[in-house]
Amino acid sequence: MVRESDDPVILFDGVCNLCNSSVQFVIRKDKKKVFHFTSLQSNAGIQLLKQYQLSPNRFDSFVLIENKKAYTRSTAALRVVKRLGGLWTLLYAFIIIPSFIRNALYDWVARNRYKWFGKSDNCMLPTPELKARFLD
């Protein structure tokens, strides 16, 4: 799958309530509407994972495709908040913490996300006005 747009794409676990809430948060804060979205489980998500040599069978990572490069886990999340503007950009300062420390915390939350936040039976369906920002 070759995307024609260079807009950043967020890939997320479509059945994870925490992940869906995070996407809703980004949608609300992304005033310039630069981010596009797709679930990791979708055809578009699987194709992007394969295109960037990421496992199409693992749904425990948040992925950001930006400037033709894939970022995962805590680095992806920090790069997203950096682009949201306002005070949210201050969170990007956590990038100075070594990734093995950031990702250990990220992985702990990822392992427990269903237990703590629940799981949906279906992937999130965008509203008609948001549909253009979702791939697939």
What 40-43 contacts at long range (C-beta under 8 Å, 24+ apart), as own/partner pairs, is: 40/11, 40/12, 40/13, 40/14, 41/13, 41/14, 41/15, 41/123, 42/14, 42/123, 42/135, 42/136, 43/136
Q: Is the pTM of this model over 0.85?
A: yes
Minimum mean pLDDT range among 15-24, 66-75, 102-111? 15-24
Q: Report the pLDDT value the prediction gives residue 1, as an integer from 0 to 100.
A: 45
Task: Indicate the domain borders of the chain.
Answer: 9-122
Alpha-carbon gap, residue 133 to 27, rounded angstroms: 9
| Residue type (1 letter), 135 | L
Q: Report the pLDDT value the prediction gives residue 57, as an integer from 0 to 100.
A: 82
Q: Kindly report, residue by residue over 8-67, the tens digit of the pLDDT.
A: 999 998 888 899 899 999 999 999 999 999 999 999 999 999 999 998 887 778 899 999
118 CB contacts (<8 Å, ≥6 apart)? 17
Residue 111 CA, chain-centre distance (Å), reads: 16
Structure tokens at 65: 């495709």
Structure tokens at 14: 């479509």
